[in-house]
Amino acid sequence: VIAMDFTEAFGGFQPRFPHMHHLLAVLCLVAVVYKLTILLRKRRDAFRHMEPFPGPPAHWLFGHVLEFKQDGEDLYKVVKWGQKYPYAFPMWFGPFVCFLNIHHPDYVKTILASTEPKDNFAYRFIESWIGEGLLVSKGQKWFRHRRLLTPGFHYDVLKPYVKLMSDSANTMLAKWERYAKTGESFELFEHVSLMTLDSILKCAFSYNSNCQTEGGTNAYIQSVYELSNLINLRFRTFPYHNDLIFYFSPHGFRYRKACKVAHNHTAEVVRKRKEALKQEKEPGYIQTKRNLDFLDILLCARDENQQGLSDEDIRAEVDTFMFEGHDTTASGISFILYCLACHPEHQKKCRDEIMQTLEGKDSMEWDDLSKIPYTTMCIKESLRLYPPVPGISRHVTKPLTFFDGRTIPAGCNVGTSIFGIHRNPTIWENPDVFDPLRFLPENVSMRSPHAFVPFAAGPRNCIGQNFAMNEMKAVVALTLKRYQLIEDPDWKPKIIPRLVLRSLNGIHIKIKPVDYDV
């Protein structure tokens, strides 16, 4: 009887299930319509906000995405648009995402003088990798972290790094002997990237990885390449802007796998240091055993309330600095060496200056860095032509008015084309020509300080720019002391904006030993 009653009761529910399906379908439809309405309103508002800024025609669905062919010409196309639309113009990524792209110093100083946060669109895609470190954090968290980390870049901390950078550079240059003997062309970025990783691990984390000599492919380097490519792919692929779609896609799977490799690498570095600190107990004791480094400062930093950084904050800052400190510098050094290979007359002047400074030494020292002004000008000119970070973007939280009276309201995204500013013909005469004399003091004084911003500017500028410049000087000096760099006319870089500036076909040169008798 009970069984029959249960069956009848259960059976009574069956007719209601079809109505549940209908209700679910209606709810889904309402959700889709609601989301679409919000997106359409967002699109309408973006059109209204960008009305004062004319720009290149955009496809109604794809925006300007189809204009970018990923063929090495995309950045030059943005420069060309900038010549037609002075100061700034809108760029659409899909039907709903719009950035105001600025490419003039008079405009860029307005945005870079502020502490406006990085945009919540492009940088959102990188957060699952590097967390809320200095690159993407905002507000009080960014201000607190910036204050706690600044002592890590004091010149007293940076001084001993120059010797370590020299050691890493010499390891790389020793590997190049086979190319010098055969005269064959070789790809720079892979070698330089391993060297800058080796350097950052030694300098910032006192960690000897032997990544340049261990043979095979370095898993961390490969994970950084993979993450960089996948984040850029996600940015360009509109459906991947949805977290759920990206998560279940094959690319999402690869992203999570690469993230795991990168995070494990970071966790291992931090774990080993914590163990060492337990043994050493006091920061004063650290100084007697080895150089105080970035990781020591991270782990020992305290604010006015004697509060340190959480484990999650430490991981985020380590991941941020590990990426920012090696990938950007690797891009910069690779293009600097390429530029010097293409301009032997400037290369010779640099070498003469370096030989006089080093006086037979095989390593750079802190005091040597200030004795190579012509080499420094060549480095800056290469950073102008090939900025390691070709663009940055901010999210405006309050109305922003530019010098010509045009205004954008709160909620807009502003992209700064560093590549566009550095190639702007209204600022730079013959902008595509390599001319280090642009950076003579008398020429610099005639330009806006925002005409050259490879490390950004203002309160959110690159905290590690002195570290990067020191490494670039040391590596270039030791390379030119040992080798003559020769252009390979069969390999012209096809530059593309990834998380850092890269080349589709690599960056190739030839080398031969320096003949001191010539």
Binding residues: 462
Integer CA distances (angstroms), 486 to 133, 216, 409, in order = 40, 27, 50
Give me the pLDDT at residue 10, please. Answer: 46
Give domain limits for the chain. 19-513
What is the spatial distance between Cα 233 and Cα 347, in angstroms, rounded to a whole number? 37
- φ/ψ (deg, to 5) at 511: -140, 160
Give me the pLDDT at residue 18, please. Answer: 59
What is the spatial distance between Cα 245 and Cα 161, in angstroms, rounded to a whole number? 44
Q: Which stretches in the chain have pLDDT values below 50?
A: 1-4, 6, 9-10, 12-13, 287-288
> Which residues have CB under 8 Å from 101's CB, separation 6+?
55, 78, 82, 88, 89, 90, 91, 415, 417, 420
What is the spatial distance between Cα 316 and Cα 324, in angstroms, rounded to a whole number? 12
Give me the pLDDT at residue 23, please. Answer: 85
DSSP state of 63: B
Give me the pLDDT at residue 216, please. Answer: 53
Angle between helix axes 188-205 and 311-342 (nearest 10 degrees) is 140
3-state helix, strand, coil in the chain (%, to 5): 60, 10, 30
* pTM, 2 dp: 0.90
Give me the pLDDT at residue 517, please. Answer: 62
Which residue in 81, 89, 95 sits closest to 51, CA to CA? Answer: 89
> Residue 114 in contact with residue 461, Cβ under 8 Å?
no
Q: Label residue 119 left, alpha or beta by phi (over 0 means left) and psi (-120 to 50 means alpha).
A: beta
Q: CATH homologous superfamily of domain 19-513?
A: Cytochrome P450 (1.10.630.10)
Integer CA distances (angstroms), 348 to 170, 254, 328, 487, in order = 20, 45, 26, 14
Bridge-based pairing of strands 88-93 and 400-401 is unpaired
Binding residues for heme: 462
Give me the pLDDT at residue 2, please. Answer: 47
Q: Label residue 72 left, alpha or beta by phi (over 0 means left) and psi (-120 to 50 means alpha).
A: left
